[in-house]
Structure formats: C-alpha cells, structure tokens
Amino acid sequence: MLSLVRDTALGSYAVERWNAFALGAAWFGVTRRPMPPAVRAGYLAPYRQRADRLATLRFVQDIPLQPGDPAYDIVSEVQARLPDFADRPAWMGWGMRDFVFDHHFLDTWTRYWPHAEVQRFFDSGHYVLEDAAEEIIPQVRAFLARTDE
C-alpha cells in the first residue's frame, strides 16, 4: 500500500484529491468498533484542503522502503542506535491488527528492547488508542508511576 501511494501517479492523485490516505486510515485503522464520526472528523480536519494534503503525500513518499531511498540512510542510523536505549524503561502497546505496523515491526522492536514491557492488543489496529484506550491509559499511568525517577 505504501508503494502505491509513494510511487504511482494514481496514489499521489488519490491522496491529494480525495484525502485517500487519511480517510483510509480513519476507516481501517480501528478494528474493535467504527471510529465515531466526530473523532474521524478530528483526524481528517488538518487535511481539509488539497494543499494541506501535500504534507501527507510527502510524508509517505519519504518512508524508505529500500536502500537508495532518500531517508533510508538516516533511518538505518537511528535503527543502529536503538540498542543504546535498551537499558531504559519502555512500554509498548501494540495493535496486532495494524495494517501498517504489523507483528514483524513489533518483533523488531522487542529484539532491540528485550526488557520492554509489551502489551499486545490482538483485536486492535493502527489507531490502538482509539481501539483500546480504556485498557492502555491505566497501563501507561501505572508504568509511569513505576518508572518515575
């Protein structure tokens, strides 16, 4: 899906003309229940005008998918430094039905941060907080209370 948006005229047109990226995420980024219309409107509000959608398109176009992509080197450098933070407290709440950052991404993060507390939300998607806020918020508060220095 990222390649379609990133690398084709059709994908670029759909994002700029119809706000396809944000609309798609607002519809398919939640899995437990549909996103309430007012919440969806909030996610879409920054992209009302076609000119406002250029930022979304450029963001997707900047996601490196392979060596040689413009941001590939910087993302690789950041990735190489992740083990430097392995001794820090970390909590990850992961939507296991995320259509973008699937379990392979979580597996990678947990290899870099093996001591992180991980909560998998098996019925949650990309907008995991929209799906599981009532579970996540108390867990984050408890984590912060335990790790407050």
Which residue did the predictor score with more confidence, 4 or 113? 113
Same domain, 86 and 111: yes
pLDDT band at 149 (very low <50, low <70, confident <90, very high): low
In this structure, what token pair is assigned to residue 43? Answer: 């996610």
Same domain, 145 and 109: yes
Model confidence over 4-42: pLDDT tens digits?
Answer: 888 899 999 999 999 999 999 999 999 999 999 999 999
Residue 1 has pLDDT above 80, yes or no: no
Instruction: Compute the average pLDDT of residues 35-55.
Output: 95
117 with 93: CB under 8 angstroms? no
Q: Which domain holds residue 54?
A: 1-63
Q: Looking at residue 2, what is its pLDDT?
A: 79
